[in-house]
Amino acid sequence: MKATPRISDTEWEIMRILWRKAPLTANEILAQLLAADPGWHPKTARTLLARLVQKGALGYEPRGRAYVYSPLVTEPECLASAGESFLDRCFGGALKPMLAHFVGRHRLTQAELEELHALLDEAVEDKKPQPGKKTWKR
């Protein structure tokens, strides 16, 4: 299985545009970038597109005198890869300290707490042996 490419913060902006509405030409991508932030320079956007192609995150095909870009990786794949990288770099791969850090620093509403409890309960249920399902023993 091919590894998901590491994507920089500015490359994420381009990828989000393409995940929403691909395929697009470089000019169409630039127009959307400029709509969100007028500080974008065309050369910067084209450099980032070339990098994303080199990394294997984007593919392209010629359309007349322009190239049309499409993502070769999905947003969920990139999110999973970035999340694992963050967890490894910042918390040594340990989920509990990460959760404790964020829960301790951010005030959660009652609805958010209930949703978090439900997610944790669901994760625990997924790990329990299901009646009638064969479980593997070592």
Looking at residue 99, its pLDDT comes to 87
Reading the chain (138 residues) residue by residue, the pLDDT tens digits are 578 999 999 999 999 999 999 999 999 999 999 999 999 999 999 999 999 999 999 999 999 999 999 999 999 999 999 999 999 999 999 989 998 898 889 888 999 989 988 988 898 887 766 565 444 343
Q: What is the CATH number of domain 1-93?
A: 1.10.10.10
Looking at residue 3, its pLDDT comes to 84
Looking at residue 53, its pLDDT comes to 97
Looking at residue 89, its pLDDT comes to 94
Looking at residue 137, its pLDDT comes to 40
Looking at residue 110, its pLDDT comes to 92
Q: Are 48 and 14 in contact (CB under 8 A)?
A: yes
Q: How far is CA 137 from CA 8, 92, 129, in A?
A: 42, 29, 11
> With the C-alpha atoms ordered 47, 74, 84, 119, is the resulting torsion angle positive or negative?
positive
Looking at residue 138, its pLDDT comes to 31
Give the residue range(s) of CATH 1.10.10.10 domains in the chain.
1-93
Q: Are 70 and 23 in contact (CB under 8 A)?
A: yes
Write the DSSP assignment of 36-66 as a string of letters: H-TT--HHHHHHHHHHHHHHTSEEEEEETTE
